[in-house]
Structure 1
Amino acid sequence: MQLTDYEHGVVPLDQRKNWFSIAAVWVAIGIDLSGAFLGIELAAGMDFGSALAATMLGSLLLGLLAMCTAYVGASSGLSAAMISRAVFGKAGGAILALAISISLVGWFSVQAGFFGVNAQSAFSALTGFDIPVQVFVAVGGVLMVLTAFWGYRSINRLSALAVPLLLILLVVGVIVAFVTRGTDGLTAEVTPLFTFGGAVSLVMGIFILGVVLAPDMARWAKTPRQAMAAGFVGFFFGNSIILVVALLLARVLDQTDLMAMFFAISLGGAAVIVLILAQWTTNTTNVYSAGLAFSSISPKFRRRTVTAVLGAIGVLLGVLGAVDYFVPFILLIGTIIAPFGGVYLASFLAERRAARWAPGAAVARVESWAIAAWALGILAAFATTNPLDGPGFGWFTLTTISALDGLLVSFVAYLVLFGVRRMLSQNRTVTPDAPATEVAA
């Protein structure tokens, strides 16, 4: 089997994939247990109409942003970590690659925890035996790391198997729930726990890291246009499907445990198999991208070795209970990582023909202007986050969606700083014979 994933270079044309297969990977990533958990949380803390609207708006924004970030990945041929090197410089890119790796390992551990909790629930319902959740977390985490070890091709094959089964299960589950329980639960009153903007931020936060890291998959597309199509379909549908299904099932069945919902409508056995596949495809990609990011720090780091080490750390964190910090963690990811997407989008827009965007090109040690734009985006995201929704100050509001605020502010900040830098550079340029010419005149 081909083991290289071209982590330090460009994917050859004969290895590129069509848009549908790449979109399938992103749909498979989006249909996961963390999305189901968030859907259940929104169902318990918002009226159904508002929760549904927040889900669709957040997913639409993700799809549009993914079109942009996928275009950068497919056009440049670079992974997100190599893009960070081009934008932030060698040292700055290494710092960001480290931040991305840490975020992804943390997200991997949270997802492994979701897998363990639901696998334990299913196993107990099927057999009557109560095995510690840590066993399921460890076993599931190891399987996910093994798939990531083999690289994108294995992820692609797993997604091709999982997506049709996932869609069938979800559609059948909703139909059976409506037929057996009716729709009265959709109009039941709940105590409001989320603002609309906070809910949209959560919907985006659960997949915003995937949008920023879209180049990792988009660089496998045959053309930038195909990458954009895959990005929109993969992120809009991938993010919204599981959230909407979880919203519907939680309201109709009045349950807060996903596996219990499927067992309640006699689909427990099928759900066990299919949801295991769902979490497998999602979490494999987390540790895969973590390996790509960390290996970009130095050519001496091999992706497979790094993936194995980071995967082991993620499994350990999952066993120790990282899942308990789910909501704060996704909000923190959106606050810190989303502005990076704004910076590299602006950089590519302003300087796409610059030599540093070429694979393997020499770059400056640190691009302080880019780092400043990233910092401003992070500050904006914290400043616009309502303390009731997550870590933040609530000083003012922009779009009411803090993750999007950070990305937009960093995008604008980079373009402004780029203009200032270019103006200062032009002012420092003085032709040697200019003073002599003035004297002669």
Structure 2
Amino acid sequence: MDSTDYEHGTVPADQRKSWISIAAVWIAIGIDLSGAFLGIALASGMAFWPAILATVTGSLLLGLLAMACAYVGAATGLSTAMISRAVFGKIGGAVLALALAISLLGWFAVQAGFFGSNAQIAFTELTGLELPVQLFTAIGGVLMVLTALWGYRSISRLSTLAVPLLLILLVVGVIVAFAMHGASGLDAPVVATITFGGAVSLVMGIFILGVVSAPDMARWAKTPKQAMAAGFVGFFFGNSIIIVVAILLARVMNQSELMTIYFALGLGVIAVVVLILAQWTTNTTNIYSAALSFASINGRLNRRTLTIIGGALGIVIAVAGAADFFVPFILAIGVVIAPYGGVYLAAYLTGRRSPRWSAGATVPTVDGWAIAAWAVGILVALATTNPADGLGFGWFSLTTISALDGLVVGFVVYLALLPMRRRELPEHVESAADPATSAAAGPAADPEEARA
């Protein structure tokens, strides 16, 4: 199998894929056990309809943002980490790529922990034996790393298999639950412990890292328009389906573990296979994107070697109990990583014809203005996050969604600083090959513009 994933350059036109296959990858990523965990948390901390509305709102915002981020990936053909190099410069881009890689590695560890927890429940239900959760976490992590070694093509094939099975399982589970228990549990009173804005932030936070790193998959799209279609469908439906189903099942069944719910419905054996497959597809992409981010730091770094090293480290962190810090972690991701998405969207919008979007272009060592915009976005996200909801100060409120606040402010600040940035850092017109990107291939221009 071809293992070339063009981590140091652009994806050639003849290797690009249809939007349906890319959307399937994102849907498979979205339908995972962390989404189920969040849905159950929302069901226990909010009234039913506000929880559903928060889920739809957060997923809709993710879908719209994903369209923009996916466009940049398809138009440039570059990975998210390589885009950070174009935006922040060589050293600045390496710092951002490192931050992305660490975030993705942490998310891999959290997801592997969820896998281990649910696999342990399933094993105990089926055999009556209790084995340490760490064993299941380690086995799951190894499977995910092995799939990631083969790159995007392997992930796409696994997702194509998983998505239909996942959708069938979720729909059947809801139908059986309502048939057995009715709908009375939907209106059961709860103590409101999660605000609406906090809920939307959580819904966005669980997949905001996926949105920001959307170019890792979108660069495989045939055209930017197809990437945008895949982004909206993949992120809106992929993110909302599992959360809505988890809210419904948690309310109707009055349970707090998805695997336990499916065993109570008599669907345990099917759920074991399908939900484990779901977590497998999701977490494979996390370690894949983490390796891409690490590889972008230096042209001599090999993605497959980094996948093995990063995967081993992620498994160790997962076994140590990373899943216990799930909610604080996704809120921290929203605060730190979301503003970067706003910065690179603004950078591409205002300078997409610049040669710096070519993988081999010369770029500044550090673009301080872009880093300043990112830093301001982080500070605003911290300032608008309610301490009761997670990492933040709660000094004031903008949209009530802190992850969105940071992204929008990063975008706006970059535009506001643009005149000063242009005076200090004029666009480079040369495109001499850089050692870190010597494997580059293909133009950075929008493929559709090139045909015009």
Q: In the alignment, what sits opposite 2:56?
A: 56
Structure 2 CA distance, aligned partners of 1:101 and 1:181?
A: 44
Residues 1:14 and 2:5 aligned together: no
Aligned to 2:237: 237
Q: Deviations over 1:311-366 (max 9, x none)?
A: 00000000010000000000000000000000000000011111111121111100
Q: Is the 8 A contact 1:28 1:159 kept in 2?
A: yes
| TM-score, length of structure 2 as denominator length | 0.93
Residue 390 of structure 1 aligns with which residue? 390
1:5-35 Cα distance to aligned partner (Å, 9 max, x none): 0001111111110000000000000000000
Matched, 1:92 2:92: yes
Deviations 1:56-111 (A, max 9, x none): 00000000000000000000111000000000000000001110110011000000
Q: 1:424 deviation in Å?
A: 7.1
What is the aligned partner in structure 1 of residue 445 from structure 2? none
The 1:178–1:361 alpha-carbon spacing in structure 2 relative to 1, beyond 3 Å, is same
Q: TM-score, normalised by structure 1?
A: 0.96
Q: Which residue of 2 aligns with 1:252?
A: 252
Distance 2:422 2:68 in 1: 25
Q: Does 1:115 align with 2:111?
A: no
- The DSSP-based 3-state class of the residue aligned with 1:7 is coil
1:259-338 superposed matches below 5 A: 259-338=259-338
> C-alpha distance in 2, partners of 1:139/1:424?
52
Q: Which runs of 5+ in 1 are unaligned?
A: 427-441
| Counterpart in the other structure of 1:141 | 141
Q: Quick one: distance in 2 between partners of 1:406 and 1:398? A: 10
Which residue in the other structure is 1:433 paired with?
A: none
Q: Secondary structure at the match of 1:104?
A: helix
Per the TM alignment, residue 422 of structure 1 is displaced from its structure 2 partner at its CA by 3.5
The aligned counterpart of 2:434 is: none
Per-residue deviation at 1:425? 8.0
Q: Which residue of 2 aligns with 1:223?
A: 223
Which residue type is aligned with residue 83 of structure 1?
I
Q: Which residue of structure 2 lines up, in the alignment, with residue 437 of structure 1? A: none
CA–CA distance in structure 2, aligned partners of residues 288 and 421 of structure 1: 33
Structure 1 residues 270 and 419 mapped into 2: Cα distance closer, same or farther (>3 Å)? same
Q: After TM superposition, give the deviation of residue 420 of structure 1 in Å.
A: 3.1
- Distance in 1 (CA, whole Å) between partners of 2:196 and 2:103 is 26
Give CA deviations for 1:234-268 in whole Å, capped at 9, x if unaligned: 00000000000000000000000111100111000
Q: What code does the residue aligned with 1:39 have?
A: G
Letter in 1 for 2:22: I
Structure 2 Cα separation of the partners of residues 354 and 372 of structure 1: 21
Secondary structure in 2 aligned to 1:192?
A: coil
- 1:374 equivalent to 2:374? Answer yes
Q: Which has the larger radius of gyration?
A: 1
- The Cα shift of 1:421 comes to 3.1
Q: Which residue of 1 aligns with 2:449?
A: none
Structure 1 partner of 2:174: 174
Partner letter of residue 262 of structure 2?
F
The residue that corresponds to 1:435 in the other structure is: none
Q: Give the SS at the match of 2:233.
A: helix
After TM superposition, the runs of 4+ consecutive aligned structure 1 residues lying more than 4 A away are 423-426
Residues in 2 aligned to 1:425 and 1:180: alpha-carbon distance in whole angstroms = 66
Q: Take 1:295 and 1:425, find their aligned partners in 2: how far apart are those partners?
A: 26
Deviation track 1:188-209 (CA, whole Å, cap 9, x = no partner) reads 0000010100000000000000
Question: Structure 1 CA distance, aligned partners of 2:70 and 2:391?
Answer: 29
1:117-148 Cα distance to aligned partner (Å, 9 max, x none): 00000000000000000000000000000000
Structure 2 unaligned runs (5+)? 427-452
Deviations 1:26-45 (CA, angstroms, capped at 9, x unpaired): 00000000000000000000
The one-letter code matched in structure 1 to 2:280 is: W
CA distance in 1, matches of 2:421, 2:281: 43
Partner of 1:45: 45
Q: Provide the C-alpha distance between the structure 1 equivalents of 2:210 and 2:194, rounded to a whole number of angstroms.
A: 23
Equivalence for 2:358: 358
Answer whether contact 1:73 1:219 (CA < 8 A) is retained: yes
Q: Tell me the distance in 1 between the aligned counterparts of 2:84 and 2:271.
A: 39
CA–CA separation in structure 2 for the residues paired with 1:62 and 1:419: 30
Percent identity of paired positions between Structure 1 and Structure 2: 71
Kept in 2, the 8 Å contact 1:63–1:233? The answer is yes
Q: Map of 1:69-88 to 2, 5 A cutoff?
A: 69-88=69-88
Instruction: Give the Cα–Cα distance (whole angstroms) in 1 for the partners of residues 425 and 227 of structure 2.
Output: 36
**Aligned pairs, how many?**
426
- Partner SS, residue 169 of structure 1: helix
| CA–CA distance in structure 1, aligned partners of residues 409 and 94 of structure 2 | 23
Who is 1:206 aligned against?
206
Name the amino acid aligned to 1:8. Answer: H
* Residue 446 of structure 2: aligned partner: none
Partners of 1:343 and 1:311 in 2: CA distance: 29
Paired residue for 1:434? Answer: none
**What RMSD over aligned residues (CA atoms) do the two structures have, in Å?**
0.9
Q: Following the alignment from structure 2 to structure 1, what is the Cα–Cα distance between the partners of residues 342 and 194? A: 26
User: Are the equivalent residues in 2 in contact too, given 1:8–1:360 (CA < 8 A)?
Assistant: no
1:34 corresponds to which residue?
34
For 1:86 and 1:423, how far apart are their aligned partners in 2?
18
2:398 and 2:333 mapped to 1: Cα distance?
A: 19
